[in-house]
Amino acid sequence: MNTLDTVIIGSGPGGYVAAIRASQLGQKVTIIEKNDIGGTCLNVGCVPSKALLHAGHAYQEIRHAETYGIQATGTLDFAKTQHWKNTQVVKKLSTGVSQLLKKNNVTIVMGEAKFTSKSTISVSKDGKTEDYSFKHAILAVGSRPIEIKAAPFGKRIVDSTGLLNIPTLPKSLCVIGAGYIGCELAEAFASFGVSVTLVEATSTILPGFNTKLSDLVKRNLQKLGVTLLTEALVVSSKETEDNVTLTYKKGEVESTIESNVVLVSVGRRPNTDRVNIQVSGIELDPKGFVKVNAKSQTTNPGIYAIGDITPGLALAHKASYEAKIVAEAIAGHASKIDYKAMPAVCYTTPEIATTGLSLDECLAKNIKAKATDFPLAANSRAIAASKTEGFVRIIHDEKSKLILGAQIAGMNASEIITTLTMAIETGLTLEDVALTIFPHPSVSEAIMDTMEVGLGYPIHM
């Protein structure tokens, strides 16, 4: 039996980052992957979905180019769109991650790993099995889409992976679940001209976001022609060769929807049930997530867990952050996890992003906080791009003016939220940021303007 120094199971944004950082810190690292290097995010999740969104937005820009005095007509070849996404985006990045692992002297083993004891694993591939013992293990096996009884996966009822790899555009699509994955893919396919219906069991789309943010997304989805059904619970489905008929209830009234394809996007479940975890000495919580301490160490001191299999938001950047902490902890550093400011983004139109505490969270913690807003309608860069819908909101301590949280809706929200994440992490106040010189014209100037509103000396309001 071969003995491994540090073994990492899973090569997603948690696994590969942990592998590289652990190797940089002097550990001999082996990473095990059963599918494709890069994990769900890179191959069938975050990255390809953003590629399709980008293509959809480009198609819409061409269709509405007359706004800028441009006469243009656009035709869509979806097969070429998929080929571009798969070869120029996904394959390029996956190959890049493999090269980074090799550059950092990480040994890559392809196969499915399962625990055989508290300090051993077996790796199976093509009917062959290899056994290994390890000194340290990092479990980074991610999550998978939840399947529902009312609409089990089939030929035309698919998860996000199936929809992202669909070879031809359907005429109609029904999306069950209006979280960020459901909303992003609903927008992408509606942008391509597909008739989309979005079904959500709660009273609003994007239930994890403030309604001031989600209402902007709702309005734009409706402009694209997306039909929104909230407080609607899918109770059954019938799949035929060409279509799927869904039956749903709103209150006591039952209705049906027919579409070519159904996407089930109601959340994800941790893959902790796929690694024979019961023999590893790792304890799970009632929802199947791994119990970890401040170093992301499990109840087995030799095993760490990161990413979607641990409690909290299922975000790629959360996994990457935890990966670095764990690699440092194994190397003997006094590193601990601190989620003081964890950005979350929905890449819809407009983009929406949050970081730090919301006003409600501050109130729950008995923090006397205040929210200050600035509209992008008063931002010159947004006006020049005809993208004025949105705002910047800063949550700050009433007395000290310490920045506690932020919410952004609008152009480039996914990019400029980082400025506010850094402000929270470094303990900056409204004045600190207001006195920072921002480039003009830029959307980021709205951050400075929001700070000035909070201080009572606004220039552009």
CA distance 312 to 327: 20
> CA angle at residue 144 from 83 to 233, to 5 degrees?
100
Structure tokens at 294: 């401040």
Residue 342: closest CA among 247, 425, 237: 425
Residue with tokens 């039952």: 254
> What's the CA gap between 351 and 300, in Å, rounded?
41
Using omega within 30 degrees of 0 as the cis cutoff, is the peptide bond preceding 350 cis?
A: yes
DSSP 71: -
Q: How many CB atoms lie within 10 A of CB 85?
A: 21
Residue of 64, 83, 333, 440 marked active site: 440
Helices (H), 137-237: 160-164, 180-191, 211-223
Is there a contact between 353 and 216 (Cβ–Cβ < 8 Å)?
no
> Is 136 labeled as catalytic in the residue annotation?
no
Q: What is the DSSP letter of 33?
A: E
Q: Give CA–CA dist 282/291, Å, rounded.
A: 8
Residues 371/454, Cβ–Cβ less than 8 Å: no
- What torsion do the CA atoms of 181, 187, 188, 190 make, to the nearest 10 degrees? 140
Q: Where are the alpha helices (DSSP H) in 2-144?
A: 15-24, 39-44, 46-63, 78-84, 91-103
Question: DSSP readout, 294-341?
Answer: TT-B-SSTTEEE-GGGSSS---HHHHHHHHHHHHHHHTT-------SS
Enumerate residues 6+ apart whose C-beta is below 8 A from 220: 187, 348, 349, 350, 389
CB half-sphere exposure, 268, CA atoms < 13 A: 27
Contacts of residue 444, defined as CB under 8 A and 6 or more positions apart, other chains included, come to 412, 416, 419, 438
Tokens found for residue 44: 């069938």
Alpha-carbon dihedral sign for residues 406, 407, 408, 412: positive
Counting beta carbons within 10 angstroms of the beta carbon of residue 241, is it exposed (0 to 12), middle (13 to 18) or buried (19 or more)? exposed
Q: Give catalytic residues, as residue numbers.
A: 440
